[in-house]
Structure 1
Amino acid sequence: MPSSASPDPAELLELARAVALEAGALALQRRREGVEVAASKSSPEDIVTHADRETEALIRARLAVARPDDGFLGEESEAAGGSSGLTWVVDPIDGTVNFLYGIPAWAVSIAVVEGGTDPSTWNALAGCVVNPTSGETFTAMRGGGAFLNGVRLRANGAVDLASALIGTGFSYSAERRVEQARIVGHVVAVARDIRRIGAASLDLCNVAAGRIDAYYERGLKPWDHAAGALVASEAGARVSGAAGAAASGDLLIAAAPDLAAALESALADAGMSGLGGTAR
């Protein structure tokens, strides 16, 4: 695809999908061959495998050929700016611990955004999340809806908090996990149940597919949610941060609007820092 100052979002989505599928096939091959931890990052639990690095290198190379003027922000390599106003936001293997253990809940996540690398200000144009193990490909384009293997998705609508199945995730920091577990203890008392899958991109796609009713997490990096958040929002979920702010590392909640508000209120009642008491 040639570089263009005003790219067709459908072409961007097709590029994201094609590259994500190729990268997913490579990662799946490496998983079958055996996985080795290459290094730890923020903590001993926060690992990177050789496959993470190889997969991101493949993605970066393919995008550089197709869109040489675009920026790049990936989990495993140095960010690079561009002149087009567009940036590709990439998680080569979201759910690396699942990948390491052979748990079939990991994904390749690729999104293209305009407006820089800050999730609070960018506008996501297209995104693709591929789960190579299940053969599922989630896609979304701004204003064009969300799809799973070509079938349109719709997030669950009106669901009371007491009947809601809620997804969440935990930090790599042991200290933060203890606090997050305390919050979960409060939330599970007022909801149907909690699910912890271990890959934010898939959690968001599961909201889009109606497999869970809501998802919340703190501490996400831009590449964790860039593509999945677009899939969820294009499926009809509200994806936001606290008090209607844009989703960011401070907080991301994805759910139907009324349920999102009720969940935020429950998080505030549980004492999540930075959230005041909210009226229901």
Structure 2
Amino acid sequence: MNTSPRNLTLALAVTFCSHAILAKSPNFILLYADDLGYADTSVQMMDAEPSTKNAFIQTPGIERLAEIGARFTAAYSPTPTCTGSRISIQHGQSSAKIQYRNVFDVLSQVQRPDGYDAEITITEMLKESGKNYITAHFGKGCSAMGRFDEAGYDLTDENPGEPGGNGNGHGSYWDPIKDKTPFPPDNPKRMHSLRKDAADFLKKHAGKRPFFMMVSHYAPHIPFVCTREAFERTKKRWVAAGYDTKGLEELNDDPVNNPKGEANKKITYAAMVEEMD
């Protein structure tokens, strides 16, 4: 990507540009969940709205972050879809300005015939700061934007040869490029390998160089998938809490093609979010 100086327009970018902050070379970890509902965690995001806390799903990890950090009660997703939001976040621009508003935005191809190479990303801006940042991206990419290893990221887990990197693969494994192989039942949507990749990166680089790391989960985007252990644990709580069990069925050995009854779907979704947490 073109890395000549340009302006990012959001407050986040202003923060990155701040002389005082750059002088300290802070580290950045961006944890990104795909299509997670604002009321799908056990943190009440808005004090005046009890409904913004989920009554069933338990996310103690997010609770700890909320306790030591801040809740942005008016920090809305750039778009109500995954792709548009990702492009906006990477470039620090609204979906209207970056001209990508949907999953497959046909207007973008007309408005942006040359793609997004001329737009600077967050990581490219950090590279331009002269603070020797090392940058990493693990997980779901953004096919409309292109490859992250060509957009200011030093380390990625992108699929070799794919113009869109990992794209919207929903966490399935690629062997080696186009032929998908089933993701293992003990690592649905790569949740656990993403955690390991992130931990390995921190062990290797934290304290040695300032870093920016984005962990971009495939969960909880459809299809809903979790480990059998998580499903059984969540099902037990679901039944004990007296929720509707109509159509509840046992899991089979195919995590993607498991029973799709309403109870199964809700239990699987809750288990997936909790497992990601």
TM-score (norm 1): 0.26
Greater relative CO (CA pairs within 8 A, separation 6+): 2
Kindly name which structure, 1 or 2, has the bigger radius of gyration based on alpha carbons.
2
Q: Which has the higher strand share?
A: 1
TM-score (norm 2): 0.26
